[in-house]
Amino acid sequence: MVFNSLTFLVFFAVVLFLHNLRLPWSIKKANLLVASFLFYAAWNPPFLLLLWASTVVDWAVALKIHRQTEQGRRRAWLIVSIIFNLSFLGFFKYGNWAQENWHALMQLIGVQYTAPKWNILLPVGISFYIFHSMSYTLDIYWKRVEPIPKLFDFALFVSFFTQLVAGPILRTADLVPQFQRPRTATANQLCWGFALMIFGMFEKVVLADGVFAPAVDAVYGNGDPITGVDAWVGTASFATQIFFDFAGYSVTAIGAAMCLGFSIPNNFRAPLAAIGIAEYWRRWHISFSTWLRDYVYYPLGGSRDGEARTYLNLMITLLISGLWHGANWTFVIWGGVFGLLLCGERWMRRKTKAWNIPKGLWFQVSMMLLTFWIITCTRVLFRSPTLAEAMSIYRSMIGLHADAAPILSLYQIVLSMVCVVLTLFAHWHMRDKELEHVVARAPQWLLVSAMSGMLFLTIITQGNGDGFIYFQF
């Protein structure tokens, strides 16, 4: 069940209706839990067992960790949780890939080996809900939070349907305290929630799927050498499409939660206006980048043990980030490239600290455009299904396929690039602003017109209910 479908609209209307009935809070929470399980079961009912198993094990293990006084036993129970969750994630997400790589390795060394066909299905959202659940046991181990006494509340936290399959990746402190007392949306929250859902669906259906996806799919689904113009336009379009696709999901999830009276943290802050790679990661998929910071980078030592160790910690963290995104060497290399970029940027900042670096507007805009150009180049690895295709796109970008036949029409090129430029301008305008403050200062007639226009365009845009890109992760 995807947000951009009629099925979800009916589902959400029923959930919202039940949530606003005069019922005991325990019944309303039960309704939300059942609705969340139904939402997930709509993808593949048997995978509910994995969700339940991860939830029950981590809740029970966290209680064990909290009750233990001996550090060795606390660590042993934490290891149980980590092994249990990563085993699930490793088998379902990386099982096929590991088998393929083992087969390739055997062939490389001359061993005759025929790999059995596993055809393991990837449960939707497994990376997200396992990170939700693991963060709780890690926080209990580090004594950052108190244990959740009721399995019911923990299960609702892990499976809450608005953010279950593609985030934001929440911590227990973000959501569980909100379960402790009755919550329904105020009139202002309801208006804001519906507005965010409309805006999120506009980003997904109209911009990501309607404007950018045709050019991206034509370039990356071609298979033959393409012109440099096609390669650059298709890749810049994908760098913008993936933002609208993922931000559209996050905004819709936040809006849906707000309609029910719950608050979920923002997951994006104008990332395409970032100046530098480090700032880009602070603005893009914030819940994931902070998860990696708090549960991988800091435990490795962060920047406390000298520059060499800091660079190593950055590389390990970003390689894990790449591997988290998918079972493919393109993602691993993508993570490694970002790790090198972060290390290089950190080194340059240290070396230029005493220099008089310009602070003017044009310098900042130039650095923003340079950052976007770098991000666009890395997106080739993210979008290409194989390294061979990625290398072919890169060759086109540097002009080695100048004799290739054009793929994109002039209309597609102009539409895509105009929308890319408008997106960059909008992100720059919102770079240091919050959406709430901008809306508060805007005339009411303008807000109503904008919402009506986005809703109208979303409804009339022909779409197939395409899944969100981050569902595959």
pLDDT digits (tens, 9 = 90+) for 303-336: 888 889 999 999 999 999 999 888 889 999 999 9
In a domain, 2, yes or no: no
Q: Are residues 311 and 454 in the same domain?
A: yes
Residues 56 and 79 in one domain: yes
The model's pLDDT over 407-444, given as tens digits with 9 standing for 90+, comes to 999 999 999 999 999 999 999 999 988 888 888 888 88
- Residue at 341 is within a domain: yes
Q: Do 167 and 271 fall within a single domain?
A: no
Contact (Cβ atoms closer than 8 angstroms) between residue 336 and residue 387: no
Q: Answer yes or no: do 194 and 166 share one domain.
A: no
Residue where one domain finishes, among candidates 167, 183, 199? 183
Domain match, 315 and 401 both: yes
Same domain for 404 and 352, yes or no, is yes
Mean of per-residue pLDDT scores for the chain: 89
Q: What pLDDT sits at residue 2?
A: 78
Do 157 and 253 share a domain, yes or no? no
Residue finishing a domain among 164, 183, 202: 183
Q: Which of 141, 167, 183 is the last residue of a domain?
A: 183
Residue 299 has pLDDT above 90, yes or no: yes
Looking at residue 472, its pLDDT comes to 64
Is it the case that residue 194 has pLDDT exceeding 90?
A: yes
* Same domain as 90, residue 56: yes
Residue 191, both tokens:
């208006």
Number of separate domains in the chain: 2
| Residue 45, pLDDT above cutoff 80 | yes
pLDDT of residue 357: 66
In a domain, 8, yes or no: no
Which ranges of 22-177 does DSSP label H, i.e. alpha helix?
Answer: 25-41, 48-67, 71-108, 126-141, 151-159, 172-175
Domain co-membership, 276 together with 365? yes
In the annotation, is 103 catalytic? no
Domain that holds residue 367: 189-472
Instruction: Looking at the structure, tell me whether residues 349 and 372 fall in a common domain.
Output: yes
Same domain for 468 and 410? yes
Average pLDDT on 104-113 reads 77
Kindly name the residue from 19, 285, 325, 401 that is annotated as catalytic: 325
**pLDDT tier for residue 274 given thresholds of 50, 70 and 90:** very high
> CA quadruple 311, 317, 320, 321: dihedral positive or negative?
negative
Please give the residue that has the higher pLDDT: either 85 or 359. 85
Q: Taking 90 as the threshold, does the pLDDT of residue 163 lie above it?
A: no
- What is the tens place of the pLDDT at every residue in 83-95? 999 998 888 888 8
**Residue 4 maps to a domain:** no
Look at residue 120 and tell me whether its pLDDT is greater than 90: no
Please tell me whether residues 346 and 454 are part of one structural domain: yes
Residue 5 located in a structural domain: no
Is residue 283 in a domain? yes
Q: What DSSP element (H or E) covers 300?
A: helix 298-300
Give CA–CA dist 462/205, Å, rounded: 8
The answer to whether 249 touches 204, Cβ cutoff 8 Å, is yes
Dist. CA 169–CA 393, nearest whole Å: 32
* pLDDT at res. 462: 64
What percent of the chain has a predicted confidence (pLDDT) above 90?
A: 60
What span, in angstroms and rounded, lies between the C-alpha atoms of 405 and 336? 33
Residue 208: band (very low, low, confident or very high) from pLDDT cuts 50, 70, 90: very high
